[in-house]
Amino acid sequence: MKFDRYCITEKDKARFKQKLVKARDCLLFAGAGGGDYGRFHLNRKLVGAHVFGFFAHNVGYFPAESELEQIQVVHRSECLSASWLSSG
C-alpha cells in the first residue's frame, strides 16, 4: 500500500513526545518496536520512529512513499546502543 504526503499535526507531535525518554544526550523512543527500531503509528501507517522524529522536527510533513524512498535518515552513532545506560 503506497501512502501520500501527510501534514504532521500538533497532536501527532504530542503523542510522539510522550514516548521519548531522555538518556544523556540522546532521546530514546520507548514506544512500540520492530526488531531494533522503534515504530510509530502515523495516519494508520507504521513508520520508523527516528524518521518521524526527523520530519516532525525539521520539515512539518511526512513525505509520500515515493519521496521517502530517496531519503535516508540515520541515528547519531552514540545513540544506536542503549547498553551504556546501565553503567550510569
Task: Encode pLDDT of 45-75 as tens digits.
Answer: 888 888 899 899 889 999 888 888 778 777 6
User: Does any domain span residue 84?
Assistant: no
- Total number of domains constituting the chain: 1
Q: What is the pLDDT of residue 80?
A: 60
- Predicted TM-score (pTM) above 0.85: no
Distance, CA of 56 to CA of 60 (rounded, Å): 5
**What is the average pLDDT across 32-54?**
84
Whether 11 contacts 43, CB under 8 Å: no
Residue 24: give the domain boundaries: 6-76
Question: Which residue, among 17, 4, 5, has the nearest Cα to 61 in the 3D structure?
Answer: 5
**What is the average pLDDT across 41-46?**
90
User: Does any domain span residue 85?
Assistant: no
User: Does any domain span residue 53?
Assistant: yes
User: Does any domain span residue 88?
Assistant: no
Per DSSP, which regions of 1-88 are E strands? 6-7, 20-23, 26-29, 33-34, 37-42, 45-48, 61-62
